[in-house]
Amino acid sequence: MAEGADVPGRYRYEWALFADWCTAAEVSALPASPLTLAVFLAENPAGDAAQRRRVAVVNRIHTAARCPAPGTVTAIRLQLDRARTDRAAVLRARVAPIIAELPVVGWPTGMFGRRDAVILALHAAGLRAVDISRLDRRDITIVGDGVRIGGRHQLHLYPDVDSGGEAVIDYVAVWRQWEQVLRMVQEHPSTRVLEQYLRAGALPDYDGRDVSGPVMVPIDRWGAVPLPPWAMTPAAITSVMTSHLAGTPARHRPLPARPGPARSSAEPSAVPGDDATALSDTYAAGVAARSAAHTALADVGDVLDEVEDRAEELLRRTLALLDNL
């Protein structure tokens, strides 16, 4: 397929240009990486229509060869769609003050604020609701003072700055604050532990380990997330984005602190991290029990369906016997 004779005539000029450039750059033309295609477009400027045709041809040849099409990633699409890029720039200016006002402390307001900040930041970076819903935590990594979104996006997000040189959207801070919550939920599924940390306003630092799981998870009014976690739907993510942009975000009422066990006056009060080890052991056992129950009851639905089918069959036979009397 990489040879000109194997390429349909209407694609030969664009493909030959790309293949020759790859040969000169000593990189693979088939399969080509999204980075290769991006550099090719940058070093061979042309009008928007010509660039879009080049990407379409490269994608077509890759698809015919059963290779991943490099031009489908979000970074390439943004590079080719100036109107979309301009809209994203305007959107970033709109969401920056919204993100700055979102709470990161308090229960469960801080949890909602951290999550919504990531949704708005990713949307302003050019991702659609469906893209955000499909993101895995391993797709997002902190690189220096920026955030890299891998997978089918290949975006590098660096802090936007205003005319005074101050960061408008600090993607690293926004992501780290939410990643701390996700990590805490994973290690301490009980909301009590997370509540203690968010009320105190300090969560353990992100340790950089690769952990799989959805980036965006639903949160109920009490601050609980599903176990095991599942991703927010695109519709739910869209609702969060549009409500903030319209100035009518959901109002999450702060919950009063839960009463703790009675303590003697001589006993020192605990700070959020003092009993973390004991809580970890207690809730780890609880999580293990819930996980075992989840596995043991996984086929309950099928069993109940089978019972229902048998009951219907018995009823049918009974009615048939009555009809014959």
What's the pLDDT score for residue 152? 77
Which are the contacts of 17, defined by CB distance < 8 A and separation ≥ 6?
Answer: 44, 54
Strand partners, 146: 143
Strands 155-157 vs 140-143: parallel, antiparallel or unpaired: unpaired
Q: Which of 66-75, 181-190, 313-322 has the lowest mean pLDDT?
A: 313-322
For residue 190, the Cα-to-chain-centroid distance in whole angstroms is 22
CATH number of 85-245: 3.30.300, 1.10.443, 1.10.260, 1.25.10? 1.10.443
What's the pLDDT score for residue 227? 83
Integer CA distances (angstroms), 292 to 10, 134, 135, 213, in order: 59, 27, 27, 19
Using pLDDT thresholds of 50, 70 and 90, give the confidence band for residue 163. Answer: low
What's the pLDDT score for residue 306? 72
Q: What is the pLDDT of residues 177-224, one digit of tens each?
A: 999 999 888 887 778 888 888 888 888 776 656 788 999 999 998 888
What's the pLDDT score for residue 7? 80
Q: Please give the Cα distance from 52 to 184 (Å, whole number).
A: 44
Greatest mean pLDDT among 99-108, 163-172, 270-279, 284-293: 99-108
What's the pLDDT score for residue 310? 75
Higher pLDDT, residue 173 or 268: 173
Higher pLDDT, residue 98 or 250: 98
Q: What value does the mean pLDDT of the chain take? A: 81
Contact 149, 139 (CB under 8 A): yes
Domain regions of the chain by residue span? 4-72, 85-245
Q: Please give the Cα distance from 15 to 21 (Å, whole number).
A: 10
Q: SS3 of 238, please? A: helix
Instruction: Read off the pLDDT of each residue in 293-321 and give the average, rounded to a whole number.
Output: 69
Instruction: Read off the pLDDT of each residue in 15-26 and give the average, rounded to a whole number.
Output: 93
Higher pLDDT, residue 4 or 147: 147
